[in-house]
């Protein structure tokens, strides 16, 4: 059985880009982004045919969108249940005082079953997405999060079904 973190291609958040702002995206850039959101393996040839441009022009635009940080990467969507990670949950985490965001991310991302860490405004400090084999495993993961760092409280929300806009 694979580790759920092994299927991830993302890393902890980075600082926003510095320097002059990127030029605004035109309708063609937005169409290319949408085509790649629908199918990240779509070829330059197919995109060129779809939007009526040359393959070279499409390739230049996609490479520019990557260089400007509009397109951050490509990944495979997997069925976690088929990999043995059938339980998905979100845990709301509260931390002591003014815990730095970096500490929150480091604490939660250090747990392999944590798929994503969202620092949030409001009463809570973070929302973490967790994958586990079963409820007993989820209980263990929540326990590890509770004992990690400066966590003062948690609340767990079980996922019954999902829809995601990629």
Go through the domains of the chain in sequence order and give each one's CATH number.
27-67 (1.10.10), 80-158 (3.30.70.920)
pLDDT higher than threshold 70 for residue 37: yes
Q: pTM for this structure?
A: 0.72
Answer yes or no: is pLDDT of 42 > 50: yes
Region class of 162: left (phi > 0), else alpha (psi between -120 and 50), else beta:
beta
Say what the pLDDT of residue 149 is.
74
Which residues, other chains included, contact 69 with Cβ-Cβ below 8 Å and sequence gap of 6+?
17, 22
Average pLDDT of the residues of the chain: 87
Predicted local distance difference test score (pLDDT) of residue 13: 47
Output the six-digit token pair for 47.
């995109």
pLDDT of 19 above 60: no
Q: What is the pLDDT of residues 53-78, one digit of tens each?
A: 999 999 999 999 999 999 999 988 88
Burial zone of 144 (CB within 10 Å; 0-12 exposed, 13-18 middle, 19+ buried): middle
Q: Summarize the confidence of residues 97-121 as an average pLDDT.
A: 90
Give the length of the chain: 166
Rounded to an integer, the average pLDDT of 133-146 is 95
């Amino acid at each position: 059985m694979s580790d759920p973190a092994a299927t991830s291609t993302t890393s902890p958040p980075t600082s926003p880009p510095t320097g002059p702002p990127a030029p605004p995206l035109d309708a063609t850039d937005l169409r290319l982004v949408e085509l790649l959101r629908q199918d990240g393996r779509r070829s330059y040839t197919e995109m060129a045919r779809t939007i009526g441009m040359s393959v070279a022009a499409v390739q230049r635009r996609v490479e520019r969108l990557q260089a400007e940080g509009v397109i951050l990467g490509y990944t495979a969507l997997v069925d976690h249940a088929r990999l043995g990670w059938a339980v998905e949950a979100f845990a709301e985490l509260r931390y002591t005082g003014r815990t730095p965001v970096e500490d929150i991310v480091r604490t939660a991302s250090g747990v392999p079953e944590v798929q994503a860490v969202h620092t949030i405004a409001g009463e809570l400090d973070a929302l973490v997405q967790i994958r586990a084999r079963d409820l007993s495993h989820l209980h263990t993961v929540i326990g590890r999060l509770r004992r990690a760092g400066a966590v003062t409280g948690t609340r767990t929300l079980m996922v019954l079904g999902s829809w995601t806009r990629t």
